[in-house]
Amino acid sequence: MQRIAVFCGSSIGFKPVYANDAKKVGEYFAKNNIGLVYGGGKIGMMGVLADTILKNKGEVIGVIPHLLRHEEVAHTKITKMIITKKMSKRKVKISKMVDGYIALAGGFGTLDEIFEALTLGQLGIENKPIGILNTNDFFKPMLHQLDHMVKEGFLKQSNRDMILVSDQIKDLIHQMGNYQAPKMSKVVNTVASK
């Protein structure tokens, strides 16, 4: 894994445990020469992650859409910043640069990005590993929702199983390194007809 996209909050959360884990991820990336590709922000979890990697002399590449390129939110000290015209172009750009995706705690933006990666995996357009760092069981309700979708016939178990989960970054990266994408056709049949 040379480069990984990390999606995470533009907020920091109410408990210090979230920022602490963002720091641990940053330290791990720098120590193991894993380059970060991320949303390019300097605020919230994104800022903590990027700053930690920079402090430890690692690589940080930001991909930010034009409309978010304000001084208040865009990080100005990272290794490289790529500016895209649209939000949608940013995702394409990020996906071309990375070997896998990780989500840390976040909000709508984080979920949008990780679910887009999952959708690409589900369609067989990509077969990159997708991990979730489950700090403080943050994603437990979301994973529960996904199990509910399997139970109700809207999500295949094999696609649900694409999501790798751990509360330790070292273990998560290890799982990602061993990831085998599910075998599937590029055309998704309706799950309910299974």
- Judged by the rule CB under 6 A, the positions of this chain that interact with ligand AMP are 7-11, 39-41, 43, 46, 64, 68, 73, 106-110, 113
In a 3-state reduction of DSSP, which class is residue 3?
Answer: strand
41: which 2 tokens? 């922000």
Nearest distance, CB of residue 38 and ligand AMP, angstroms: 6
Nearest distance, CB of residue 75 and ligand AMP, angstroms: 8
174: which 2 tokens? 């290890």
Closest CB to ligand AMP among residues 5, 156: 5
Nearest distance, CB of residue 87 and ligand AMP, angstroms: 8
In a 3-state reduction of DSSP, which class is residue 7?
Answer: strand
Closest CB to ligand AMP among residues 30, 102: 102
Q: How far apart are CA 176 and CA 131, in angstroms?
A: 7
129: which 2 tokens? 């590993």
Closest CB to ligand AMP among residues 50, 176: 50
Nearest distance, CB of residue 1 and ligand AMP, angstroms: 18
Helix axis angle, 16-31 to 169-177, nearest 10°: 50
